Amino acid sequence: MTKLTASHIRKHAPDADDTAVADILATGASIAEFEQAAVWARGDSDIVGDESHALTGRIRRVYEILTEGNRWAEEP
């Protein structure tokens, strides 16, 4: 299995600062877990808001890091 790297995070979350990248790497999340969290953070998932598919574990923590400070907020 390919390990999640800082360059992969920056590719999919270019607004993530060094602290966020380090925090995401520290979660031990896989690439798949990171990408799932990123989809949710962007609001691209068809099941966002569906309580039966609540985020848990590492995916939830990565999501929290990505959405902290509204990194994914749309520009007005």
pTM: 0.78
Contact, 35 vs 62, CB < 8 A? no
8 pLDDT higher than 80: yes
**pLDDT, tens digit (0-9, with 9 covering 90-100), for 9-21:** 999 998 899 999 9
Task: Quote the pLDDT of residue 52.
Answer: 43
**pLDDT, tens digit (0-9, with 9 covering 90-100), for 50-60:** 544 578 899 99
User: Where are the domains positioned within the chain?
Assistant: 6-70
What does the DSSP assignment read for 36-62?
HHHHHHHT--TTTT-GGG---HHHHHH
